[in-house]
Amino acid sequence: MHNAAFRTLGLDCVYVAFTVTLRALPGAVAAIRALGLRGVNVTMPLKTEIALHLERLEPAARFLQTVNTVVNCEGVLIGYSTDGPGALRALGEAGVRVDDVKVAVLGAGGAARAIAYQLVHSCSELAILNRKMENAVALAQLLRPCDGAKVSPRPLTEAALAEELVDSVLVVNATPLGMRPLEGETPVPSRLLRSDLAVFDLVYDPENTRLLTEAREVGAKTIDGISMLVHQGAESFRVWTGRNPPTSVMMQAVRGALRVRAPGLEGRAH
Ligand code: NAP
């Protein structure tokens, strides 16, 4: 998606992927400076560790101690976390308003943390439902210093979902339920879906999850994971280039790449 955006804007840039082990991370960070790279994305499992190697972290990255984007400003490396802002842009684009409303976030991992940190500043109430209750409690505790929403940690059970969804306007799936190889699964029983409950599924492979399909069947507004993937990438693009990327071109590139992946070719066709 980045190369498609570079081509469209006529920028003399290229985006390439490297496999970096934890042991090689200090050398890889030194290479960003030595080679004069403009920036990088960082993914699991290095998102936390890389924060220790950077000169500065912008506020969300500092709060969450997680970095997915690094920009090189003349040898000074600055870390950003663009997942949360990308998720908010995806919601905004779909016309979902999150001011002074209740939102239920399913999951308490990296993506849930990034989104909850953004939402806590605008929502009135945030329910965090997670399989391991202790991780939901830990996320609620992390968010305690933030001004804003009342945060309630809950177990990810059907009974707790029924209680929390009844007055929520949005539910966000930040678990891998629905993602390959769990594509037959859904975190929300269909009987709990309603036309006035927007459904945001962070899973992007497959594009159409069971949760999104069942939400559409009851007439709910849905937002898929590709939208967030593209918008978090677009935020990185802005950080590196100072330009607004063509998000529709990026979207097309991602959807095209995912559709090329026929069964048995996973991981090979990009
Ligand atoms: P993570 O840090 O590993 O967290 C995973 C979360 O899902 C944890 O809360 C975990 O609960 C829960 N979970 C795992 N397996 C589960 C299961 N079988 N049943 C119920 N809950 C389960 O992962 P992450 O980085 O947050 O990613 C979560 C999802 O978001 C993935 O599907 C990922 O692809 C997607 N994502 C999408 C984007 C995007 O741009 N669209 C960006 C980031 C992530 P416990 O605490 O109980 O283990």
Tens digit of pLDDT for each residue in 141-152? 999 989 899 999
- C-alpha 242 to ligand 1 mean position (Å): 31
202 CB under 6 A from ligand 1?
yes
Reading the block at residue 225, the tokens are: 């994971």
The CA-atom distances, in angstroms, between 250 and each of 9, 15, 70, 95, 209 are 12, 13, 20, 20, 21
- The confidence score (pLDDT) of residue 8 equals 98
Neighbours of 109 (CB within 10 A): 14
User: Nearest CA to 161 among 171, 169, 151?
Assistant: 171
233 CB under 6 A from ligand 1?
no
Q: Are 43 and 87 in contact (CB under 8 A)?
A: no
Average pLDDT, the chain: 95
The residue type found at 31 is A
Burial of residue 34 (number of CB atoms within 10 Å: 0-12, 13-18, 19+): exposed
Average pLDDT over residues 200-224: 96
Report the DSSP beta bridge partners of residue 56.
Answer: 78
Q: Are 117 and 145 in contact (CB under 8 A)?
A: no
Q: Which atom of ligand 1 is nearest to the CA of 111?
A: 26
In degrees and rounded to multiples of 5, residue 201 shows phi and psi of -105, 120
Chain centre distance of CA 121: 17
- The confidence score (pLDDT) of residue 268 equals 39
pLDDT-derived band of residue 266, with 50, 70 and 90 as boundaries?
very low
- The confidence score (pLDDT) of residue 260 equals 78
Q: pLDDT tens digits for 190-207? A: 999 999 999 999 999 999
Continuous H helices in the chain: 2-9, 25-34, 59-64, 83-93, 110-119, 133-143, 158-165, 210-217, 225-241, 247-260
pLDDT-derived band of residue 270, with 50, 70 and 90 as boundaries?
very low
Burial of residue 163 (number of CB atoms within 10 Å: 0-12, 13-18, 19+): middle
Q: Which atom of ligand 1 is nearest to the CA of 226?
A: 41
- C-alpha 34 to ligand 1 mean position (Å): 35
